[in-house]
Structure 1
Amino acid sequence: MNKMKKKETQLPFRLNILFFIVFLLFSILIMQLGVVQILNGADFQEEIDRTIKDTTKIPVPRGKIYDRNHQVVVDNKPKYSITYTPAKGIQAADKLEVAENLAKYISMDSEDYINGITDRNKQEYWYLKNKEEADSRLSEEESADLDNAQQYNTILNRITNEELLDLSKQDLEVIAIKKELDKAYSLTPQIVKNEDVTSEEYARVAEHLGELPGINATTDWDRDYPFEDTFSSLLGSITSQEQGILADKEQYYLTRGYSRNDRVGRSGLEEYYEDILRGRKEQIQYTTTKNGRVVDTKTIVEGERGKDLVLTIDMEFQKEVDKIVREELETTIKKHPYQHRFLQDALAVVINPKTGELLAVSGQHYDHKSEKFSNTAFKALYDAHRPGSTIKGATVLAGYESGVITPGQSFYDAPINIYGTPVKKSWRNLGLVNDSDALKLSSNVYMFYIAMRMGGEYNYQSGKKIAFNRDAVQEMRNYFQQFGLGVKTGIDYPYEATGFVGTEPKAGNMLDFAIGQYDTFTTMQMAQYVATIANDGYRVRPHFLKEVRNPVPSENELGPVYRNTNTEVLNKVEMEQSNIDRVQEGFRRVFQETGGTAATYFKGKDYNPAGKTGTAENEVFEDGVKIDTENLSLVGYAPYDEPEIAFAVIAPHTGKVSQRHPIHHKIGERILDTYFDIKEDRDEEKFEKEAEE
């Protein structure tokens, strides 16, 4: 009993000791916190202020672009650059100090910089240099009625022209530098100078970075084009750093990690493949003092330049096609300069009909005033024209599949005279022709019979009205669209036109539609159309990109394949193969048989070509007067039995028949000749190389 009482008295004593110890520990902790807060607080806060850590993203060079034979088409050319990355909370006076110090080491006296200085820039500079004097020009009574922005603007407006005229050349250089510094966003590098930065300037700035907060001497880059103007209009361009991301797509780019002054593809393939070409930015963490002085840097994400594009284009062949198109355009215009005064463009597209790989896309424009040529290959996708008889293959196939004609059926080719409609006829009366003859000889009348029958008229009588179902126009368009005529081709490019679609579905217009003289189509659509016929009715998507390659450190080699572009079949035309075969035979006869409309240029060629010619009536207006012109077109492919190349050519607004040069035939003939000549030379080189090995 006594032992139990003794234990009970000992327990509270031990608890008291424990409580006392805990009390002492808390007291010591509170005292320590007091010491930190009261005695050392300022020192610790200064240390925190001294070590601000921020991350900056540094742009990297874009990916390169190669042709199908791995020749560099677009490269990156390095150049010296002076940049400015402002810390958070930087003030105008701080930027002015940086600008004044930087002006000691670089020159900004070129006209581009000096002429870009506005009166506002000068006023702001004068204000910072004479703040007390400037502020005294606004009374307290005036200030009471104005907000801060209004006060500032009023003060600037009271700086006199004489005071601004007193600014020295050195002052103007400082202003030019500060103007560039003012463009910078916090933690985002802004180029101050990257045009004509000398090695001496680069070295001086690099040596004095310690007294230039936020300034860096680095290497920037420009796009370089080894083939100069060749294919340039389709490659597109990128923005300058001054332009930065495109204003109309600002949110799109900002949400994808871009900075406002990042350069982006603004047109062409540079724009379409921006996500691939842009690369991964390098991320650098800066530790800075409160006044912006960098005390430590660390790379937290390694940068990697953009991936490389390998195109389907053969630049050697592309150069030759450009030359052919330009020479034939020049020859045509100079042969009859007055009659061809409206001829300005010639366009050509060359494609592999089985894969959709584009081998060459050419456009040449002639300015009659300056007498100079320019590369306008983009017009092959942007400009649509009446194609004329080149589309008659689609018309005949529409006739087969709609059931209004049968293979081998004949009609008598004589002028068609429908009441209320101008007389329509072929280029000459051809007599009795069947479907294959109609293609070979380019009979308009045969196509008119197909159109009339699709519209419901089987008993045409000269001078009488005809029955016509308005839905027949759209029915024929539906057949055409299976070949890519009147719809998007699916090409990997930011924009392509689909052409004009007529809005008056009446009999006369349908007859015109059947011979390619109503709706309009682009050269790319025409190339896809003939490629589809050559490829047994399989319509494949045309494409510029062959493959994507990962970048490698070496500047002179391609990296491993990242992605291939496979052949994509968009559709198989819903037509009997035997009917497609019959149109293919008709196209062969056009090019290879005596009397064929292109036989003069292609008969006897050992590469076994096939295709279709076209002439469409067109008009232009000069001083309010309508003048008749013609569009000359040609589509074709070779070899006929195993096609590996298809092409389309159009030259709009040529002179009339009596004055014209056969520009479409000459371009088409020279394109095929050149393609097979290059192929033969390469095969011989390959054979000799293998023999040596």
Structure 2
Amino acid sequence: MSYGKKEFRKRLLILTVLISLSFLVLLGRLWVLEIIQGEKYLFLARNNSIRLLPSRAPRGIIYDRKGEILARSRPSFSITIYPWNLSQEDLAETVKEISPIIGVKEERIYQTIEESQSPFNNIPLKEDVDLKTATKILERKLSLAGVDLQVQPRRYYPDEELLAPVLGYLGEIDKDQLQALRGRGYRLGDRVGRDGVERVYDEYLKGEDGGWQIRVNNRGQRVGTMGHKEPLPGNDLVLTIDRQLQQVAWDSLKGRPGAIVVLDPNNGEILSLVSAPAYDPNLFAGSLSQEKWLSLKGDPLHPLTNRAIQGEYPPGSAFKVITTIAALERGIASRDKSFFCSGTFPFKDRVFKCWKEEGCGTLNLKEAIIHSCNVYFYQLGLETGVDNIVDFSKEFGLGKASGIDLVEEKKGLLPHRRWRKESLSRKWFDGDTINLSIGQGYLLVTPLQMANLIGAIANGGRLYRPYLVKRIISPEGETIRETRPRLIKEVILKKKNLDLLRESLFGVVNEKGPSGRRTGTGWRAKIEGIEVAGKTGTAENPLGEDHAWFIGFAPYREPKIALAILVEHGGMGGKAAAPIAKRIFEAYFNSKVGEKKSRKVEE
């Protein structure tokens, strides 16, 4: 009997311990549910009936200077899913049914849900679906648990690649950007400007999101609306760009790689900025595939590079403008200064050549510019000296960024004695000066820098900061910001020197020989009724055929337009670039005539 009682007590003790342990486990589980995960389950409980659907604000419209739309937002259907309170069975049924409708594999849908960085928010399954697909989703609304059809603004660029270097493109905000911008109304999933004016003026363009507060059933299906906040559209931009002129410039390149910058020399407004080849920014309006992104990045023609501000090239003979100014201002040259050109210039252990093999004969300064004689400028450059040439290059903005309202502008390379010593551990030689005097050697410039340079020559020495945005306008139509011309510096030049240079540049396009035939290297830029001045350039390229340049302005006496044209591997500037300048000048002045006639009719 005693043994039986002991056994009973032993078993009772074990049972008590087991019950206590079970109770402790239960308490632990309740503690985890209430304390550790309580907030999550409270959120799920509440949101089983109420949910907030964000409504993205449309970005502001971007216009050209004449009111033509360059970028806008259009309505777009997006398919989303809210899987967080669905049973595994409901989710499986929904995924199986929606997969063939939207053309996305089931595995990919599950992967999208698993990789979502926005828990408890709707997850996009497919963006910008067509009306037919959207209708199918609405017809199956009752059987597609957790699925919602949303109408969201989607960025649209009607001219595709034409204005990509100016406008840029959008991309989803990354973690670093979000960290920096969270306090300014940005959030995960936002699409922000990644390049061009879309990036520089993103905070003006973005607007303020709204949303819908909706009631849903236990299968995540919308059954009612409890509230709505209208999104506020972003501000509009009015650019300095003339879309029609941009089209003419783009078409003039005829598919060849290159860049064109056209500006108003009297204020720095950019009228056209072309970089070819380019990309279609509509590709980035939605989710760009990794394959397409790698294809763009790896394209040997570099369509993502804005050649107008990021392409760095030797300017060739277009740089003779600087050599001339340096020589005149330092009193080393004058109108009558002459040199003889036999076609070659032996110097120490090297022979430097002129582009004209038979030579140009004896020339004065004006004739040397008109005929772009290299041998003349070799000798003029040696007498002027590298320091003087570099000084005036800096005066006209070479070797540094212009400050245009775009990102990642390159500053080129302006070589000098100290640079050579620090970068190459070698001293500067006279041969380097010879190369520099005709825009070769280590010297690199961007097309924008050359447009700014010739613009300053056109207007008498005033160097303006180039800009793209004229005005920013609120959704109510009020101007909230207007860009005013900003003078970077005024280069003080003797009037007689500037007049001689401008006269010579006029001769490059208009000079005639005894037979009446035009003899200047830039004669192909001449147009009837408008006096054009300019300078050609043919830049040696160690990687292939020479690059072609033309810089110029018009009208000669009262300049309204200045430009720089670069055709990669185009050969001689007079043949490849000057005809493009002619087409742009004609388009510009013909449009001005049309505007005057239109105003007279209205009056």
User: Under a length normalisation based on structure 1, what TM-score does the superposition of the two structures give?
Assistant: 0.67
Go from structure 1 to structure 2 and tell me whether the alpha carbon gap of 1:480 and 1:661 turns closer, same or farther (over 3 Å shift). closer
Kindly state the Cα deviation for residue 274 of structure 1 after the two structures are TM-superposed: 1.5
Q: After superposition, what is the alpha-carbon deviation per residue over 1:52-78, rounded to whole angstroms, capped at 9, x for unaligned?
A: 899775431211211111111112121
What's 1:546 paired with? Answer: 470
Go from structure 1 to structure 2 and tell me whether the alpha carbon gap of 1:275 and 1:420 turns closer, same or farther (over 3 Å shift). same
Amino acid at match of 1:544: L
Q: Does 1:447 align with 2:360?
A: no
Moved more, 229-238 or 281-290: 281-290
Q: Does 1:179 align with 2:121?
A: no
What's 2:195 paired with? Answer: 267
Go from structure 1 to structure 2 and tell me whether the alpha carbon gap of 1:350 and 1:604 turns closer, same or farther (over 3 Å shift). closer
Structure 2 Cα separation of the partners of residues 661 and 598 of structure 1: 5
What's 1:479 paired with? Answer: 392
CA contact (8 A) 1:353 1:534 kept: yes
CA contact (8 A) 1:410 1:433 kept: yes
Q: Does 1:245 align with 2:173?
A: yes
Q: Does 1:529 align with 2:448?
A: no
What's 2:69 paired with? Answer: 72
Q: After superposition, what is the alpha-carbon deviation per residue over 1:605-649, rounded to whole angstroms, capped at 9, x for unaligned?
A: 3111111111222232xxxxxx6x322211111001111111111
Kindly state the Cα deviation for residue 478 of structure 1 after the two structures are TM-superposed: 3.1
Among candidates 655, 658, 674, match of residue 587 of structure 2:
674
Among candidates 116, 127, 135, match of residue 200 of structure 1:
135
**Residues 50-129 of structure 1: pairs in structure 2 closer than 5 A:** 58-84=55-81, 94=86, 96=88, 99-100=91-92, 102-103=94-95, 107-109=98-100, 113-114=104-105, 117=108
Q: Does 1:568 align with 2:486?
A: yes
Go from structure 1 to structure 2 and tell me whether the alpha carbon gap of 1:82 and 1:600 turns closer, same or farther (over 3 Å shift). closer
**Residues 199-598 of structure 1: pairs in structure 2 closer than 5 A:** 199-204=134-139, 212=146, 216-239=148-171, 244-247=172-175, 249-282=177-210, 297-299=226-228, 302-326=230-254, 345-365=257-277, 378-406=306-334, 408-414=336-342, 415-425=344-354, 427=356, 429-455=359-385, 472-473=386-387, 475-502=388-415, 504=420, 505-518=428-441, 519-552=443-476, 559-594=477-512, 596-598=519-521
What's 1:465 paired with? Answer: none
Kindly state the Cα deviation for residue 362 of structure 1 after the two structures are TM-superposed: 2.4
Kindly state the Cα deviation for residue 180 of structure 1 after the two structures are TM-superposed: 3.3
Go from structure 1 to structure 2 and tell me whether the alpha carbon gap of 1:56 and 1:506 turns closer, same or farther (over 3 Å shift). farther
Go from structure 1 to structure 2 and tell me whether the alpha carbon gap of 1:208 and 1:289 turns closer, same or farther (over 3 Å shift). closer
Kindly state the Cα deviation for residue 185 of structure 1 after the two structures are TM-superposed: 1.6
Go from structure 1 to structure 2 and tell me whether the alpha carbon gap of 1:180 and 1:409 turns closer, same or farther (over 3 Å shift). same
Structure 1 Cα separation of the partners of residues 114 and 375 of structure 2: 72
What secondary structure does 2:231 align onto?
coil
Go from structure 1 to structure 2 and tell me whether the alpha carbon gap of 1:291 and 1:603 turns closer, same or farther (over 3 Å shift). closer
Q: After superposition, what is the alpha-carbon deviation per residue over 1:165-185, rounded to whole angstroms, capped at 9, x for unaligned?
A: xxxxxxxxxxx2673376152
Structure 2 Cα separation of the partners of residues 264 and 433 of structure 1: 57
Q: After superposition, what is the alpha-carbon deviation per residue over 1:216-237, rounded to whole angstroms, capped at 9, x for unaligned?
A: 4321132222223322343222
Structure 2 Cα separation of the partners of residues 79 and 179 of structure 1: 20
Kindly state the Cα deviation for residue 400 of structure 1 after the two structures are TM-superposed: 2.6
Structure 2 Cα separation of the partners of residues 582 and 600 of structure 1: 19
What secondary structure does 2:350 align onto?
coil
Go from structure 1 to structure 2 and tell me whether the alpha carbon gap of 1:446 and 1:348 turns closer, same or farther (over 3 Å shift). same
What secondary structure does 1:487 align onto?
coil
Moved more, 583-592 or 290-299: 290-299
Amino acid at match of 1:237: Y
Structure 2 Cα separation of the partners of residues 113 and 279 of structure 1: 32
CA contact (8 A) 1:411 1:446 kept: yes
What secondary structure does 2:559 align onto?
coil
CA contact (8 A) 2:527 2:586 kept: no
What secondary structure does 1:607 align onto?
coil
Q: After superposition, what is the alpha-carbon deviation per residue over 1:100-157, rounded to whole angstroms, capped at 9, x for unaligned?
A: 57558x622268621763xxxxxxxxxxxxxxxxxxxxxxxxxxxxxxxxxxxxxxxx
What secondary structure does 1:649 align onto?
strand
Q: After superposition, what is the alpha-carbon deviation per residue over 1:646-677, rounded to whole angstroms, capped at 9, x for unaligned?
A: 1111223245x7xx991112111121122212
CA contact (8 A) 2:70 2:157 kept: yes
Structure 1 Cα separation of the partners of residues 180 and 128 of structure 2: 29
Structure 2 Cα separation of the partners of residues 251 and 363 of structure 1: 33
Kindly state the Cα deviation for residue 508 of structure 1 after the two structures are TM-superposed: 0.7
Amino acid at match of 2:499: D
CA contact (8 A) 1:245 1:253 kept: no
CA contact (8 A) 2:377 2:437 kept: yes
Go from structure 1 to structure 2 and tell me whether the alpha carbon gap of 1:529 and 1:96 turns closer, same or farther (over 3 Å shift). farther
Kindly state the Cα deviation for residue 408 of structure 1 after the two structures are TM-superposed: 4.4
What secondary structure does 1:229 align onto?
helix
Q: After superposition, what is the alpha-carbon deviation per residue over 1:258-296, rounded to whole angstroms, capped at 9, x for unaligned?
A: 222111122222222211221112266789999999997
What secondary structure does 1:416 align onto?
strand
Go from structure 1 to structure 2 and tell me whether the alpha carbon gap of 1:225 and 1:437 turns closer, same or farther (over 3 Å shift). same
Go from structure 1 to structure 2 and tell me whether the alpha carbon gap of 1:219 and 1:98 turns closer, same or farther (over 3 Å shift). farther
CA contact (8 A) 1:108 1:177 kept: no
What secondary structure does 2:347 align onto?
coil
Structure 1 Cα separation of the partners of residues 505 and 162 of structure 2: 32
Go from structure 1 to structure 2 and tell me whether the alpha carbon gap of 1:598 and 1:681 turns closer, same or farther (over 3 Å shift). farther
CA contact (8 A) 1:64 1:307 kept: yes
CA contact (8 A) 1:325 1:363 kept: no
Counting matched residue pairs gives 520
Structure 2 Cα separation of the partners of residues 193 and 97 of structure 1: 22
What's 2:287 paired with? Answer: none
Among candidates 602, 608, 615, match of residue 538 of structure 2:
615
Moved more, 629-638 or 418-427: 418-427
Among candidates 641, 654, 662, match of residue 575 of structure 2:
662
